[in-house]
Amino acid sequence: MNEWVLILGMMLVTFIPRFLPMAMADRFRIPAILRKALEFVPIAVLTAIIAQASLIHNGEFDLSFANAYLYGLVAAFVTALITKHMFKTIVVGLVVYAIAFVIISKI
Amino acid sequence: MQNKKTLFLLGLRDVIPLLIAAAPFGIVFGALAQANGLSVLATMGMSAFVFAGSSQFVAVTLIGVGAALPIIIVTVLIVNLRHMLYSISLMPRVGGLSLGLRTIMSFWLTDEAYATSSMKLQENPKMVNFHWHYLGAAVGMYINWQTCTGLGILLGQQIPDLTKWGLDIAMVVAFVGIVVPMLKNRAQWACATAAFFCALVTHDWPHQTGLLFSSLLAITVGVLLSKKTYLSTAPSGDADE
């Protein structure tokens, strides 16, 4: 397979969906109801990514106590609720994950 | 009104936590692409010209299992369709900008740049020159992604096991840090809850279509629950139509 043909193809199919709506922004008046819906886009998409990345591993549910992601996720969630601060959330989430990871791998 | 340079630098500063969170991803991508037989030049080229993290991962994984080119392209298209939602949500913000500017804004559209700038928009919905903040975040992401891909190519040759470490935890906690402060009312909480559980239920749908479906369902939940407040503000003359 030609690597550069692949890259060109990927470039087209990733760019076009990102570009078309923005390119047509002047031609469409966005109805108020859709505008309302768009406010929910970041919450919806990012939360869906969070759920799958932390609780699904190798195509399987991983809700066991041996899933270190679970501890990182809960710690990050609580920190974010209390502090509303992204950087503190990342630091606490990563530290708790690392501790959980080490403990779990030793059991 | 803040000037363009200040906003650009502000965007660059605001995206820094996400650059740290995305770094392991770029490194693992570089290493994985090498392990799955992509040349050094094509690995760098994919990051430079495609610039779509999850699509690049899917592509090199499929290369690893010997998938045919059309299959890879179609899968990449589907995986990256969520960016279309981002682009649609930016439509009200880019009207009046030049086509060149919109082209580069679309090419640089990523989860991270979008998240950074939509967080800024939540703080200040009436913000002027929004695109300069976005461009600052996007430039930071682009440079970071190229650097990390290169680093991954180098590290992957030293540490073959690198791709097996659970490095995507950084992305999980960063996104939590973005989403949770956005949750201020019942509709937003319901939207997040719906997205979370629906994404788990649909995880085995092919090519991450579950992600797209869950997002659309969660958005609908959010709109339905906020309908009353939405209708009560509409007669004030604030609505578009």
CB contact under 8 A, A13 and B76: yes
Three-state secondary structure call for residue B17: helix
Q: How confident is the model at residue B239 (pLDDT cuts 50, 70, 90)?
A: very low
In this prediction the ipTM stands at 0.88
Structure tokens, B224: 């339905």
Contact assessment for residue A76 and residue A93, using Cβ atoms and an 8 Å cutoff: yes
Give contacts of B 126-155 with A, CB under 8 A: none
CB contact under 8 A, B107 and A73: no
Interface test with A, best of B173, B189, B223, B229 (most A CBs within 10 A): B173
- Say which of B188, B203, B239 has its CB closest to residue A52: B203
CB contact under 8 A, B76 and A46: no
pLDDT value for B110: 94
CB contact under 8 A, A14 and B83: yes
Q: Which H/E stretch holds residue B69?
A: helix B69-79
Three-state secondary structure call for residue A63: coil
Instruction: Assess whether pLDDT exceeds 50 at residue B241.
Output: no
CB atoms within 10 A of CB B102: 22
CA distance B198 to A55: 12
Structure tokens, B207: 């090519």
Burial B34-52 (b: 16+ CB within 10 A, else e): bebebeeebbbbbbeebbb
- Provide mean pLDDT across the span B40-52: 96
Instruction: Assess whether pLDDT exceeds 70 at residue B64.
Output: yes
Relative to beta strand A60-61, strand A56-57 is antiparallel
CA B20 to chain centre: 14
Q: pTM for this one?
A: 0.80
CA distance B210 to B197: 11
Closest approach of B218 to chain A, Cα-based (Å)? 6
Structure tokens, B110: 């990523």
Q: What is the pLDDT of residues A14-47, one digit of tens each?
A: 999 999 999 998 887 778 888 788 889 889 988 9
Instruction: Assess whether pLDDT exceeds 50 at residue B111.
Output: yes
Instruction: Assess whether pLDDT exceeds 70 at residue B2.
Output: no
Q: How confident is the model at residue B78 (pLDDT cuts 50, 70, 90)?
A: confident
pLDDT value for B228: 58
Closest approach of B3 to chain A, Cα-based (Å)? 23
Instruction: Assess whether pLDDT exceeds 50 at residue B238.
Output: no
Instruction: Assess whether pLDDT exceeds 50 at residue B237.
Output: no
The residue assigned the tokens 């859709």 is: A34
**Among B174, B237, B57, B78, residue whose Cα is nearest residue A88:** B174
Contact assessment for residue A36 and residue B226, using Cβ atoms and an 8 Å cutoff: yes
CA distance B133 to B152: 29
A-B contacts at Cβ under 8 angstroms: 292
* Residue B165 sits at the chain A interface (C-beta within 8 Å): no
